[in-house]
Structure 1
């Protein structure tokens, strides 16, 4: 149903030209102060998309987000201390 997405942080030099990145994927956030764009692109064509974005004149650097590779399920092996502190 949903396509696999990958997150990109694109550092830019021109904020007005940042809107043109919408044709490569969906823009999540544009930082005016720090001049970057957080966006999601199709994971199947990630390498081709990053090469195409890098060729744009206003793009300084592209960083890939590793959020999908971080473990988000946690287990608690630490014993519960609520019984110790209750009277």
Structure 2
């Protein structure tokens, strides 16, 4: 139903120019202090969008976010100490 989305971290020289990146995808976050933008795009067009973003003169570097690849299911083999005190 929903398309698979992926994030791009775009390092910029000027934060004021980030409005131009709204044409490429959904701007999720803009860091004014560290000068980067988190942009969400469809996963199947991520490479094309990264190349298009690199053509802007205010873009320094484009990185792919690895958030989708991080394991978020945890299991703990350590026994629960709260049960010992009951």
When normalised by structure 2's length, the TM-score is 0.92
**Aligned partners of 1:48, 1:39: CA distance in 2, in Å?**
13
**Is residue 33 of structure 1 aligned with residue 33 of structure 2?**
yes
Alpha-carbon RMSD across the aligned residues, in angstroms, is 1.2
Task: Give the structure 2 partner of residue 9 of structure 1.
Answer: 9
- Unpaired segments ≥5 residues, structure 1: none
Residue 83 of structure 2 is aligned to residue 83 of structure 1: yes
**Structure 1 residue 83, shift from structure 2 partner:** 3.1
Q: C-alpha deviations, 1:56-81, integer Å up to 9, x for none?
A: 10000111110101111111211111
Equivalent pairs, count = 86
Please identify runs of 4+ aligned residues in structure 1 that moved more than 2 A.
Answer: none
Q: Normalising by structure 1, report the TM-score.
A: 0.91
Structure number with the higher helix fraction is 2
1:45 matched residue in structure 2? 45
CA-to-partner distance for each residue in 1:33-58, whole Å, 9 max, x for gaps? 11111110111011111011111100
User: 1:17 & 1:77 partners in 2: Cα distance?
Assistant: 49
Question: Following the alignment from structure 1 to structure 2, what is the Cα–Cα distance between the partners of residues 3 and 74?
Answer: 26
Q: In 2, distance between residues paired with 1:76 and 1:63?
A: 32
